[in-house]
Amino acid sequence: MLLDEVAPQPELVGVNSVVVEEYDSARSNDYEDYRREKKRKAMEAERLREIERRKQEEEEEREREKERENEKDRDKDLNIYREEAWRRRAAMSGGVPRSSSPPRNGNGFSIGTSGTVGLGVGAGGQMTTVQRMMAKMGWKEGQELGKQEQGITTPLMMKKTDRRAGVIVNASEKKVKSVNFNGTPPARVLLLR
């Protein structure tokens, strides 16, 4: 069949097509080629998606690993900063670095025990934190607390009775101060019934 003899065949969709070759059953038609090409392209696209997915997973894993390393470094730095700050505070307070847990002794905890006679600023690390704070405000051991020195003279001592409970021991007896009238006799009071 010649190309000149073949007339264009109108299609239903309005596209003209020209049939150039006759059907040969020994040779595969275009549909088989089309299916093979489509299958090859689908497999290629799947392979590319798989490669992209693996790259994405590896990138995410690297990011997570980097974040873990940063977290470890940050925790390590924070721990170093905490220890350094603790050492600085201990050095500034003049105290000897102690363990984090308070010492336990048989008779309980003592707030006001000190190895010094007078609590001044120079007593150093033998004072508790409260004693140092009070010494900065001018308090000395044996001196009463309060504006007119009417308070207690010795700090309260506590003896632990339970995990969260304690009893005050060795509390000093409250002494009654005499009233001073500055030389003037007290006024008379009349009791009316």
**For residue range 129-154, what is the model confidence (pLDDT) as tens digits?**
777 877 887 777 777 777 777 777 66
- Judge residue 116's burial from the number of C-beta atoms within 10 Å of its C-beta, 0-12 exposed, 13-18 middle, 19 or more buried: middle
Which amino acid, residue 192?
L
Cβ neighbours of 90 (radius 10 Å): 14
Whether 115 is in a domain gets the answer yes
pLDDT band at 12 (very low <50, low <70, confident <90, very high): low
For residues 65 and 180, the model is more confident at 65
* Residue 83, token pair as written in the block: 């220890």
pLDDT digits (tens, 9 = 90+) for 148-159: 777 776 667 778
Q: How confident is the model at residue 110 (pLDDT cuts 50, 70, 90)?
A: very low
Token pair, residue 38, equals 């489509």
What are the angstrom distances between the C-alpha of 105 and each of 60, 102, 125, 138, 184? 55, 10, 20, 30, 53
Domain assignment present for residue 113? The answer is yes
Q: Yes or no: say if 116 and 135 are a contact pair by the CB < 8 Å rule.
A: no
Confidence of residue 105 (pLDDT cuts 50, 70, 90): very low
Average pLDDT of the residues in 28-54: 91
Largest Cα–Cα distance of the chain, in whole Å?
Answer: 150
Does residue 138 lie within any of the structural domains?
yes
Percent of all residues in the chain with a pLDDT value above 70, rounded to a whole number: 62
Position 12 in a domain: no
Domain total in the chain: 1
pLDDT for the residue 65: 93
Structure tokens at 134: 């009070």
Q: Evaluate if residue 106 carries a pLDDT over 60.
A: no
Coil, strand, or helix at residue 108? coil
* Residue 41 maps to a domain: no
Residue with tokens 């600085």: 88
CB 158 within 8 A of CB 108: yes
Amino acid letter at 22? Answer: E
Determine the structural domain holding residue 135 and report its residue range. Answer: 109-169
Angle subtended at Cα 74 by Cα 69 and Cα 75, rounded to the nearest 5 degrees = 100
Q: Residue 154 domain-assigned?
A: yes
Average confidence (pLDDT) over 48-58: 96
Q: Is residue 120 part of a domain?
A: yes
> 104 lies in a domain?
no
* Gap between the Cα atoms of 15 and 4, Å rounded: 19
> Helix, strand, or coil here: 123?
helix
